[in-house]
């Protein structure tokens, strides 16, 4: 009888972290040649204490003058092109030894430059938003991506469509807390207008603070559900606010897990995200996690 080989991730070390409440697992596979499959990602999410929003699988760099390549998984096993909070967690992990103040990470969505802004605080250059309907992508041309209307959104009204490495739909409302996101999120995420699904953001503008506009934000994250924070959604929301005249090009974005500071730089159109990270614990994967996953 053939006995399957032990999964190549069994016993490997990991970090369980969070970026202002966005639950992150960081898996450093540099120098190993190992990779993570979708079934592996789903198995890890079921582990005790390992429920995550995103899994950041770090591998050897593919492009000269970059420090690592990141494959980003949602907890349903699907891949994401960007995760700002997870990128900050990876930055902390990779800057520990040797001590460094900056690095460049690569994802399928492009290069992300990370800079230390404090002991556990980092700034990530998330690049320029993509605003054309083809690049978001939407299923068909729209008259104005700043105000897209679909009947299924109902009282939420129109949304602004933005790609920040992944597709986002941002709804500005009078009271973000009054929206039943658990009901609206799944249907809107999978609406036919989004061929690659979308992150759904519910935003409310508040009084300025610290000299910046302030946005209250709740997010239904594509492939993860309601999350305490989503860095790329915070970036997309600031861009949407600026495009529609609700905010300037810099804002505090308050999510259930904490605050991010977002700036949409005029000089090159890049969006900068600054926030804190936390290490929750370190461990090694129990081989039993992968008992039902392909070897």
Question: Could you list the pLDDT tens digit for every one of the 295 residues in the chain?
Answer: 333 456 889 999 999 999 999 999 999 999 999 999 999 999 999 999 999 999 999 999 999 999 999 999 999 999 998 899 999 999 999 998 777 899 999 999 899 999 999 989 999 999 999 999 999 999 999 999 999 999 999 999 999 999 999 999 999 999 999 999 999 999 999 999 999 999 999 999 999 988 899 999 999 999 889 999 999 999 999 999 999 999 999 999 999 999 999 999 999 999 999 999 999 999 999 999 988 765 5
Residues annotated as catalytic are 83, 230
Q: Could you tell me how far CA 100 lies from the centroid of its own chain?
A: 23
Residues in contact with 198: Cβ distance below 8 Å, sequence separation at least 6, in sequence order: 161, 167, 168, 169, 188, 189, 191, 222
What integer pLDDT is reported at residue 4 of this predicted model? 41
What integer pLDDT is reported at residue 2 of this predicted model? 32
What integer pLDDT is reported at residue 5 of this predicted model? 53
What integer pLDDT is reported at residue 7 of this predicted model? 82
Helix or strand holding residue 270 (H, E) = none
Domains of the chain and any CATH numbers: 13-124+278-290 (3.10.310.10), 151-269 (3.10.310.10)
Interatomic CA distance for residues 201 and 236, integer angstroms: 9
pTM over 0.75: yes
**Within 10 Å of residue 48's Cβ, how many Cβ atoms?**
8
């Amino acid at each position: 009888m053939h006995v399957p080989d032990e999964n190549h991730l069994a016993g490997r070390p990991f970090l369980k972290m969070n970026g202002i409440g966005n639950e992150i697992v960081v898996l450093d596979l540099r120098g190993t040649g190992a990779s993570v499959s979708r079934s592996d990602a789903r198995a890890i999410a079921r582990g005790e204490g390992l429920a995550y929003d995103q899994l950041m699988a770090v591998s050897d760099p593919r492009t000269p003058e970059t420090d690592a390549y990141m494959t980003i998984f949602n907890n349903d096993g699907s891949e994401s092109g960007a995760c700002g909070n997870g990128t900050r967690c990876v930055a902390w992990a990779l800057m520990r030894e040797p001590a460094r103040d900056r690095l460049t990470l690569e994802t399928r969505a492009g290069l992300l430059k990370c800079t230390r802004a404090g002991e556990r605080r980092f700034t990530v250059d998330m690049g320029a938003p993509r605003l054309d309907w083809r690049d978001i992508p939407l299923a068909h041309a729209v008259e104005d991506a700043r105000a897209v209307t679909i009947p299924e959104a109902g009282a939420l009204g129109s949304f602004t469509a933005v790609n920040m490495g992944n597709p986002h739909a941002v709804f500005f409302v009078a009271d973000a807390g009054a929206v039943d996101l658990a009901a609206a999120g799944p249907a809107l995420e999978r609406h036919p207008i989004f061929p690659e699904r979308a992150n759904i953001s519910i935003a409310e503008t508040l009084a300025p603070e610290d000299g910046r506009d302030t946005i209250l934000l709740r997010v239904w994250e594509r492939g993860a559900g309601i999350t305490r924070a989503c860095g790329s959604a915070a970036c997309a929301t600031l861009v949407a606010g600026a495009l529609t005249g609700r905010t300037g090009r810099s804002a505090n974005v308050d999510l259930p897990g904490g605050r991010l500071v977002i700036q949409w730089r005029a000089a090159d159109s890049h969006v900068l995200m600054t926030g804190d990270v936390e290490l929750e614990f370190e461990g090694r994967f129990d081989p039993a996690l992968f008992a039902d996953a392909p070897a």
